[in-house]
Amino acid sequence: QVQVVESGGGLVQPGGSLRLSCAASRSRFSSLAMAWYRQSPGKQRDLVAVITSGGRTNYAASVKDRFTIFRDNAENTGFLQMNSLTPEDTAVYYCNLITADGNSYWGQGTQVTVSS
C-alpha cells in the first residue's frame, strides 16, 4: 500500500498564494504519475493538474497560468503552486498517484478556502 498525505491548505485572501504538498511513502516515486483534483461539497471531483513520470504536465483551463505542478523525486514529494487565487478555487484538494500498472492512491485531502 502507498500512503499519500497532502498538506499546505488553509485560508487565504483573493489574489493570494498557497503551495500544496503531496508526500508519498514509496521508493521510486519518480515512476509515478501525479495528479491534483479538487472537490467542493455536493460537487464533482475535478482534475486540476497532472504530471507524468517523464515530466509532461497538463492543466485544467480554469487554472492555467495560475497554478504550477512539479515534483521533487529525491524527496518523494509533489507540489501544486497556486497563485492569484479566487473564491472559485475554494475546495478540498486531493493528490492522486498512479502506478504504471494503473493503480491509483489517494490522500485524505487538504482544505483550501479563498475568502475576503
Express as a percent the part of the chain with pLDDT over 70: 100
Whole-number average pLDDT of the chain: 95
Write out pLDDT tens, residues 17-35: 999 999 999 778 999 999 9
Whole-angstrom distance, CA of residue 8 vs CA of residue 109: 10
C-beta separation of 97 from 36 below 8 A: no
Give the per-residue pLDDT at 1.
72
Mean pLDDT of 81-101: 96
What torsion do the CA atoms of 49, 67, 24, 97 make, to the nearest 10 degrees?
Answer: 0
Tell me the CA end-to-end span of the chain in Å, nearest whole number. 40
Write out pLDDT tens, residues 38-70: 999 889 999 999 999 999 999 999 999 999 999
C-alpha cell at 46: 475535478
Whole-angstrom distance, CA of residue 49 vs CA of residue 65: 12
